[in-house]
A and B are shown apart, each in its own frame.
Chain A
């Protein structure tokens, strides 16, 4: 090992800020100055933040830099690496680096899901093993019976991180109890909820944790085959997961007779092809089966009748990433984080008009205010916060009166603030609620698969009404119609997509009712966003 180490974030977001280019430049300079025996350069996953540039960390000095240009790289090499002087102008103060903030507050152990992301080379199975990787799998296969694994996951209180929050242990148990000649484990990595990019960064930064967890799940429920269904657009995730699967096979952690236990498990990747609906679990199964991703009528549910009609466990990437740590540290340890009803941590995607966009892992029960101001650094340009969308596009729109709601799987019931997939989309007063509602409903209209009428027609109708409103041609009764659409699509739709449209639609119409009414009365958009088009009088008469 060389005395100094430079860690560089090269996750997909950082690459767009020039990360690959900077790494190559850094390596060139290290060669040029003859530092190749002193300094190691390692590419790792995300360190959480983006708006300040690509993050480079220098160890053992524990100094973090944000790099925006090759000149910055040059400064770091000539000043820090050669002369041992920190480059103050590029340094990120510790308290502004979100992940470090969290370490200081509740110790490093709160990073359960992201414990390796931004610390290891995700393409090296050895580095994962060096961080106790595959220890949980070994423990399960050598010391535990499947029933004990189920008990452990159940006792941890882990709930599905895809958004619905269904107890994971229970789901596994349903599948375990069914007798079948074949069962499956499926990882839902079809991350499509707008604003969510945690799964992408977990797969890019720590792919083995998902593979290890799926194998453990297979053992617990009696499944011998697994699929990871990844969005077709997620090239970086696909690459890293495929490399990880290949390495796991080589090390005997996948395939026949894993670790000499007699347990077999095969794992493969399937790609999505651009359909949000495939994030719905039964649509996803249809897609793996080579069909259009149209949801199935439920019940029966996947734990008993899933892929190819066989019992199937489907969990989200983040849910799986929790499993190895739960097995190693026990359910009581896991329950020491978060809230009573929702133990553990949650990975949030902070997006929109916040200063520091990125992901952060904090205990369940953290408030929206803390996420936006403490971790997100407030709003860009010191603007005022006007509205927040929590939980993704199928989540809730809230005003600043609800910022102190602690987020967990009960916060929707208790405060009307949903946690969903963990999106916190902060918006300044330069956005218009009518325009935001229109954009949201356009999304659903586009992604509705068209199988059931309430969803297909409800979303289309909502778009028409909101389009009219955004042009300044709305009527007061439109608000009631929108609410009616929300109720009907929720009650009558086939799957989770249509059934959840009421959440964003009702929350924005109700929490921002005054904005809608002002918009109806005004002669131009009060927020200066929508373009009003006057109806010509002759047309009105006809």
Chain B
């Protein structure tokens, strides 16, 4: 059940940061998604639509347009792999392969245990230490298949995403 009061509070918080009436939808969605972990429940999106006086369809359109938002719950750890050229040519191909093999999922899928969701991302601007991945809000750079393996094993055995 979605805590309506909390969502209302988040919308109010976002509203306090606005310079113009309509400039706050995406920042609001960020706040709501951060609160729910890694997705925005339908009920919460509806509250945002009501509070900001925008049609629900528009909120849904925005939610599905931007890759950082999700309307469905994702795994406990969302792994975003940079697939752009600067990572691709510095060992990124091997990182992608390793992750797919280790997790047994393709991009956009979540592991059966609900632990990992594998996603692609565009350049994260950390090309000085490529190849790079993100796990939730943490970055990991200078990766090798061995390091990736250690990372995943650590998370599987209950470790923290550093």
Contact = CB atoms under 8 A, between A and B. Distances in A.
Nearest to A198: B125
Contacts of A436: 85, 88-89
Given A225-B19, A274-B121, A308-B22, A16 B126 contact: yes
Nearest to B52: A290
Interface string B17-40: 111101111110110000000000
Contacts, number: 162
A478 interface: no
Contact of A270 (B26, B89, B126): B26
A352 interface: yes
Contacts of B128: 13, 46, 49-51, 197, 349, 351, 357-359
A292 B65 contact: yes
A193 B84 CA distance: 10
Contacts of A439: 83-85, 88
Q: How large is the interface on B (under 10, 10 to 19, 20 to 34, 35 or more residues)?
A: 35 or more
A273 B122 contact: no
A200 B88 CA distance: 21
Contacts of B25: 290-291
Interface string B98-138: 00000000000000000000001111111111101010010
Contacts of B19: 225, 227, 266, 268
Interface in A107-159: none
Contacts of B125: 12, 191, 196-197, 199-200, 231, 233-234
A349 B126 CA distance: 10
Contact of A352 (B29, B68, B89, B123): B89
A33 interface: no
A436 B92 CA distance: 13
Given A197-B128, A273-B66, A440 B85 contact: yes
Contact of B58 (A50, A195, A196, A291): A291
A409 interface: no
A195 B85 contact: yes
A288 interface: yes
A443 interface: yes
Contacts of B142: 16-17
B29 to A, nearest CB: 7
Nearest to A428: B89
A405 interface: no
B126 A443 contact: no
Contacts of B132: 16
Q: How large is the interface on A (under 10, 10 to 19, 20 to 34, 35 or more residues)?
A: 35 or more
A232 B23 contact: no
A432 to B, nearest CB: 10
B90 A353 contact: yes
A194 interface: yes
A13 B129 contact: yes
A447 interface: yes
Contact of B127 (A17, A197, A225, A272): A197
A324 to B, nearest CB: 23
A427 B69 contact: no
A194 B84 contact: yes
A293 B63 CA distance: 11
Nearest to A182: B20
Interface in A433-469: 436, 439-440, 442-443, 446-447, 449
B11 to A, nearest CB: 13
B30 A273 contact: yes
Contact of B65 (A234, A275, A359): A275
A423 B85 CA distance: 11
Max count, chain B CB within 10 A of own CB: residue among A199, A231, A270, A431: A270
B30 A308 contact: no
A196 B123 contact: yes
Contact of A271 (B22, B30, B120, B141): B30
A427 B122 contact: no
Given A276-B122, A353-B90, A393-B84, A291 B134 contact: no
Contacts of B67: 273-275
Contacts of A275: 65-67
B77 to A, nearest CB: 16
A274 B29 CA distance: 13
Contacts of A289: 22-23
B160 interface: no
Interface string A248-279: 00000000000000000010101111111000
Given A13-B128, A191-B125, A273-B66, A443 B85 contact: yes
A47 to B, nearest CB: 11
Contacts of B88: 436, 439
Given A16-B140, A287-B26, A353-B89, A197 B126 contact: yes
Contacts of B123: 192-196
A49 B127 CA distance: 11
A266 B18 CA distance: 11
Nearest to A450: B65
Nearest to B87: A194
Interface string B34-71: 00000000000000000010100010011001111100
Interface of B: 17-20, 22-27, 29-30, 52, 54, 58, 61-62, 65-69, 83-86, 88-90, 120-130, 132, 134, 137, 139-142
Given A227-B23, A273-B69, A439-B88, 16 more contacts: A17-B129, A193-B123, A194-B122, A233-B124, A233-B134, A288-B26, A290-B22, A290-B26, A351-B130, A352-B90, A393-B84, A425-B86, A425-B89, A439-B84, A439-B85, A440-B85
14 contacts: A12-B125, A13-B129, A195-B86, A197-B127, A225-B19, A225-B20, A231-B125, A270-B23, A272-B68, A275-B65, A275-B67, A291-B62, A349-B127, A425-B86
